Amino acid sequence: MNCQVCGHQNGKPHFGVIACKACSAFFRRCCALKKKYKCRHNGICEITPNGRKICRGCRQMRCNLIGMEPERIQYNRDPLGSKAERMALSAYSPGEQSTSSSSDDQTELRLINRLVENYKILEQRRDQLYERRQSGKPRGRALNFKEVNRSCMDECVLRAHWIAATFPIFKSFSFNEKKIMFANFFAGNTILYLGKMCCLYGKSFSESVRGNLLKV
């Protein structure tokens, strides 16, 4: 049976509907933590087995539309979700212990290490590209629109490769799913990068934007 939320083939009866384990756990967390998510794209995101995590707003709306029943949730059953979510769930289900296995910790550590190593590669490629673009040109000069646009496109490509190298599942998403995920990621990641530059060089946010426009 297919999950009525995302279409995954391993659907089973959960909370009054046919749903996969992942979507059932998502619905249970939403109810236990009293979460109400909103879609940033007017509720048009497609929920698929590979892209169900892209938009929590549309996923939650889908759970509600097909008739998942919150009253069927048993909060004292198996802990679900991340360690932070399990700790929060314990407030709604006294006696439920927040547990984590060593295998989960090792998986998270490998992901963090892969994220850091691939980001170092991104920075090396960014520096190489920056030096090549600025070769033979005076420092501190004003940029024209074409140069700024090209720099932004280069940065989009660099970060897309970083995501794909760190999270292989990203390659299996459809073009629209990749576009939505990348759009949600890019702005926040850029702000974090500029904040890092402010700390490293002791500049204000606006100075960091101007001074690092080609490397943002």
d(CA 178, CA 171): 8
Least confident interval from 67-71, 99-103, 164-168, 176-180: 99-103
Inter-residue contact 113 to 57 (CB < 8 Å): no
Q: In the predicted model, is pLDDT for residue 201 greater than 80?
A: no
Residue with tokens 């497609």: 46
Burial 22-55 (b: 16+ CB within 10 A, else e): bbbbbbbbbbbeeeeeebeeeeebebebebbebb
List, for residues 68-97, the tens digit of each pLDDT value: 888 887 765 544 544 555 554 444 444 433
- Alpha helices by DSSP H, the chain: 21-32, 56-65, 83-89, 102-134, 145-166, 175-201, 205-211
Quote the pLDDT of residue 170: 80
Q: How far apart are CA 39 and CA 52, in angstroms?
A: 13
Residue range 104-148, pLDDT digits in tens:
667 778 888 888 898 889 888 888 887 777 676 766 666 777 877
Segment 34-50 mean pLDDT: 84
Domains of the chain, CATH where assigned? 12-89 (3.30.50.10), 102-215 (no CATH)
Residue with tokens 């049976």: 1
Give me the helix-helix angle, 21-32 and 56-65, nearest 10°: 90
Q: Looking at the predicted structure, is the pLDDT value of residue 30 above 70?
A: yes
Give the pLDDT confidence score for residue 191 in this predicted structure: 83
> What does R_g of the chain's alpha carbons equal in angstroms?
22
- pLDDT at position 38, please? 87
